[in-house]
């Protein structure tokens, strides 16, 4: 036991001596700046684990590395922003603190400096300052981004690309939430109260990554809109054109970024509205039949008809493939110690595809309304249902149809 303890002691000294060498190497070699204290500590812990016969803790890191390798260069560029750079605590202020361009040539890089009272905040501030250089033109609106991410995450783009490599690029594109390739290169602490950090984006690498994502999205759009006329004049065809518009909007934002860094976007970047106009023409060719039971003065039918019309679809038609089947049930409600009369209304509306006799979009609503008379309680119940449909149904329908893309 004494011998083992002695050996362990010597091993600890050896391990931490190695760590010290790592830090010295990081300080003296610019190419080693991405080696962090966390990585050095992880290496030491892995060595200790092996000595004791344990599974090295670094296996988790290996899994992460394998995931990064499988995702390719774009993910590596994004993940590099999360690597912990070496903290410089030297007395001499680095030149980049006052001028990032003096160290990171603007012909090769886009760089920005941030400062804060903590290390965590200084990295965030530097990245925010870098992003601010590009402005809002490199981002699509929130609805577009969310739709793109949800459809890709749910695997609905699988089968609409020409290769697994293109599909993987689209998955990476949907997963990113910041500038691909942006990273914190250096951090300096002035030994008083302030941390400084420089965030850097390498133009050549970023141009390559964003060009790959644009080309992948262009391939996706091509396959989305390639279909027979019968497929096109359907809810699925409408949805495919609507999603093509979303992907086109994403590509426009990527193209804007490339132009800012002096690169030329690959191919022709069409506007999302070009595909939306085609989707409107498709909608006009798709009548949706309305079948409403137990309506009152056609109030509920009118509310649904308006919601459908707002999305440019036609309501009505004989022998329509798509039918909105609505059933309304009202019933009096007796409440103890109440002089008012109450009516409960229950509404069920199913959008049906009659060709397959399947429910595409179910919609349910119920509420209770009261008044001094039962008839007026009924009126109020119908009025409440009418308002709800006018407020909600078009949004619900649009959200559903925007992700209706059939899997291949």
Predicted confidence (pLDDT) per residue in 191-213, tens digit: 999 999 999 999 999 999 999 99
- Listed in sequence order, the residues at least 6 apart from 280 whose beta carbon sits closer than 8 Å to its beta carbon are 312
The pair of structure tokens assigned to 116 is 């804060």
What structural domains does the chain harbor?
A: 9-51 (no CATH), 286-401 (3.30.160.150)
pLDDT of residue 177: 67
Which is more confidently placed, 354 or 5?
354
Q: Which range has the worst mean pLDDT, 25-39, 205-219, 390-404?
A: 25-39
| Mean pLDDT of all residues in 330-359 | 94
**First-to-last CA distance in the chain?**
65
pLDDT of residue 73: 35
| Mean pLDDT of all residues in 122-136 | 92
Average confidence score pLDDT of the chain: 82
Instruction: Look at residue 15 and tell me whether its pLDDT is greater than 60.
Output: no
pLDDT of residue 243: 95
Predicted confidence (pLDDT) per residue in 280-310, tens digit: 999 999 999 999 999 999 999 999 999 999 9
| Mean pLDDT of all residues in 93-107 | 96
Say which residue the tokens 């009261």 belong to: 370
Predicted confidence (pLDDT) per residue in 134-168, tens digit: 888 888 888 899 999 999 998 999 999 999 999 99
């Amino acid at each position: 036991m004494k011998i083992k303890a002695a050996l362990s002691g010597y091993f600890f000294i050896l391990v931490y001596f190695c760590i010290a060498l790592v830090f010295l190497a990081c300080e003296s070699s610019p190419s080693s700046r991405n080696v962090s204290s966390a990585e050095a500590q992880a290496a030491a812990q892995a060595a200790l684990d092996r000595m004791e016969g344990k599974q090295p803790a670094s296996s988790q890191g290996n899994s992460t590395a394998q995931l990064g390798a499988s995702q390719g260069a774009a993910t590596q560029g994004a993940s590099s922003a999360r690597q912990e750079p070496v903290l410089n605590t030297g007395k001499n202020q680095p030149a980049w603190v006052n001028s990032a361009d003096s160290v990171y040539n603007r012909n090769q890089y886009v760089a920005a400096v941030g400062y804060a009272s903590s290390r965590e905040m200084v990295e965030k501030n530097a990245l925010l300052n870098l992003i601010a250089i590009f402005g809002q033109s490199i981002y699509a609106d929130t609805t577009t981004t969310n739709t793109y991410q949800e459809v890709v995450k749910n695997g609905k783009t699988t089968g609409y690309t020409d290769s697994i490599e293109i599909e993987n690029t689209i998955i990476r594109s949907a997963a990113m939430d910041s500038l691909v390739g942006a990273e914190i290169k250096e951090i300096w602490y002035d030994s008083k109260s302030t941390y400084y950090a420089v965030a850097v984006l390498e133009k050549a690498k970023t141009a390559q990554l964003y060009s790959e994502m644009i080309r992948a999205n262009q391939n996706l759009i091509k396959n989305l809109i390639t279909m027979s006329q019968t497929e096109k004049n359907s809810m699925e065809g409408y949805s495919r054109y609507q999603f093509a518009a979303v992907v086109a909007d994403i590509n426009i934002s990527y193209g804007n970024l490339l132009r800012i860094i002096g690169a030329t976007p690959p191919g022709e970047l069409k506007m999302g509205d070009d595909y939306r106009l085609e989707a409107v023409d498709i909608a006009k060719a798709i009548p949706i039949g309305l079948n409403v039971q137990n309506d009152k003065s056609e109030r509920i039918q009118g509310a649904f008809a308006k919601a459908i019309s707002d999305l440019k679809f036609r309501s009505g038609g004989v022998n329509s493939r798509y039918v909105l089947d609505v059933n309304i049930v009202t019933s009096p409600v007796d409440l103890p110690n109440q002089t008012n009369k109450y009516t409960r209304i229950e509404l069920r509306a199913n959008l049906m595809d009659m060709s397959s006799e399947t429910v595409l979009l179910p919609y349910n609503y119920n509420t209770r309304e009261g008044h001094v008379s039962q008839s007026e309680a009924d009126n109020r119940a119908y009025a409440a249902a009418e308002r709800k449909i006018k407020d909600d149904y078009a949004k619900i329908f649009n959200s559903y149809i925007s992700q209706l893309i059939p899997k291949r």
